[in-house]
Structure 1
Amino acid sequence: MTLITEQSTGAAAPSQVRAAHFGGAGVLRQISVLSGRSLRALRTPALVLPNILEPVLMLTVFSQVFKSVSQTSAFPAGVSYIDYLLPAFLVTGSISAGLKSGVALTTEMNNGIVARFKAMPIHTGSVLIGRSIADTVLNAVNMTVMLIAAALVFGYGPDGGLLGSLGAALVAVVLGWSLGWVFMALSAWVRRPEALQPIGGIVNMVLLFASNAFVPTEGLPGWLGAFAEVNPMSHAITAARDLALGEPALGTVLATLGACVVIVAVTAPLAVRSFRKAT
Structure 2
Amino acid sequence: MTATLAAPPTRWRGTDFGTQVLVLTQRSLRTLVSDPRMVVFSVLQPLIMLTLFSQIFAGITNTPGFPTDVSYIDFLMPAILVNTAMQSALQAGVGLVTDMKNGVLARFRSLPIRLGAVLVARSLSDLVRTAAQLVLMLVLAVTIFGFSPAGGIAGVAGALALSLAVGWGLGWIFLAVASWLRNAELMQTVGFLAMFPLMFASSAYVPVSGLPGWLQAVANVNPLTYAVDAARALALSHPVTGVPAALGTSAVLAAIGWVFAVRGFRRPL
For 1:191, which of 143, 164, 182 is the aligned residue?
Answer: 182
Looking at structure 2, the residues matched to 278 and 193 of structure 1 have their Cα atoms a distance apart, in angstroms, of 18
1:235 aligns with 2:241: no
Matched, 1:112 2:106: no
CA deviation after TM superposition for structure 1 residue 53, in Å: 2.3
- What is the aligned partner in structure 2 of residue 81 from structure 1? 72
Which of residues 256, 260, 264 in structure 1 aligns to 2:246? Answer: 256
Q: Which amino acid aligns with 1:120?
A: L
Partner of 1:132: 123
Alignment match of 2:261 (pick from 253, 257, 271): 271
Instruction: Give 1:218's aligned residue.
Output: 209
TM-score normalised by the chain length of structure 2: 0.94
RMSD of aligned C-alpha atoms?
A: 1.2
Instruction: Give the Cα–Cα distance (whole angstroms) in 1 for the partners of residues 268 and 88 of structure 2.
Output: 23
CA positional deviation for 1:105 = 0.2
Q: Conserved in 2, the CA contact under 8 Å of 1:189 and 1:278?
A: no
- Shift of residue 80 of structure 1? 0.1
Deviation at 1:60, TM superposition (A): 0.8
2:3 match: none
CA shift for structure 1 position 123: 0.1
Q: Deviations over 1:35-80 (max 9, x none)?
A: 0011111232112111122211211111111111111112111100
Q: Answer whether contact 2:174 2:257 (CA < 8 A) is retained.
A: no
Task: Name the counterpart of 1:22.
Answer: 12
Cα-to-partner distance string for 1:173-220 (whole Å, 9 max, x where unaligned): 001111110000000111101100011011111111111111101000
Structure 2 counterpart of 1:55 = 46
Q: Are 1:188 and 1:278, in contact at CA under 8 Å, matched by a contact in 2?
A: no
Q: Tell me: CA distance 1:154–1:132, structure 2 relative to 1, closer, same or farther (3 Å).
A: same
CA spacing shift, 1:162–1:29, aligned 2, 3 Å: same
Aligned-partner Cα distance in 1 for 2:75–2:122: 32
> What is the alpha-carbon distance in structure 2 between the residues aligned to residue 163 and residue 202 of structure 1?
34
For 2:146, the aligned partner's letter is G
Q: Structure 1 runs of 4+ off > 4 angstroms?
A: none
- Native 8 Å contact 1:181 1:267 kept in 2: yes
Take 1:254 and 1:221, find their aligned partners in 2: how far apart are those partners?
Answer: 28
Looking at structure 2, the residues matched to 237 and 147 of structure 1 have their Cα atoms a distance apart, in angstroms, of 16
Gaps of 5+ in 2: 1-6
* Higher mean displacement: 40-49 or 138-147: 40-49
Query: Does the residue aligned with 2:204 lie in a helix, a strand or coil?
Result: coil
CA offsets, 1:73-121, max 9 Å, x none?
Answer: 1211110000000000100001101100000001111111111101111
**One-letter amino acid of the counterpart of residue 124, structure 2:** I
TM (norm. structure 1) is 0.91
Q: Secondary structure at the match of 1:277?
A: coil
Residues matched between the structures, number: 261
- Identical counterparts, % of pairs: 43
Matched to 1:269, the amino acid is V
Which one of 122, 130, 143 corresponds to residue 134 of structure 2? 143
Separation of aligned partners in 2, 1:184 and 1:267: 7
> Quick one: distance in 2 between partners of 1:262 and 1:254?
12
| CA–CA separation in structure 2 for the residues paired with 1:145 and 1:57 | 14
Give the secondary structure class of the aligned counterpart of 1:153. helix
